Amino acid sequence: MNANEIAVVRELQAMNTMQIQYKSQFHRYATTLGELGPLASGDKDGYVFILTLTPSGYTIHANPKVFGISGHRTFYTDQDGLIRQNRSAEPANASSPEFKLRPPEAKPLARRDQVSRHNC
């Protein structure tokens, strides 16, 4: 996963949080990204973000400006808060696989018998 894609996932998570806060204050979801504030932008990190209201809430699509260069996946989220992905240029949707950010792999710890006696 490249840095742009990690930034996009974080951006989508933030937008979901902003939508929850917006709804608690105004009793409806924001209709535009601009209503969510200056941090919510339609064009960021090599991706284009599209917010659409639906009868049950909202959807947000994040698609690379140039698929294969600015990103290798498309992303989708809605009011359920799950991030979904598609590994092709076709926009992700509610049926796309869920995206799960894996933590970095931990380095194995040195075994006790490998530690030098001078370090004890």
Span 61-112, pLDDT tens digits = 999 999 999 999 999 999 999 999 999 999 999 999 999 876 656 555 555 5
- DSSP one-letter string for 39-105: T--SEETTEEEEEEEETTEEEEEEEESSBTTTBS-EEEEETT--EEEESSSSPP-TTSPBP-PPPPP
Residue 113 confidence (pLDDT): 53
Span 14-71, pLDDT tens digits = 999 999 999 999 999 999 999 998 767 788 888 999 999 999 999 999 999 999 999 9
Report the DSSP beta bridge partners of residue 49: 62
The residue written with tokens 């894609």 in the block is 5
- Is residue 65 within 8 Å of 45, Cβ to Cβ? no
Structural domains of the chain, with CATH: 3-119 (3.30.540)
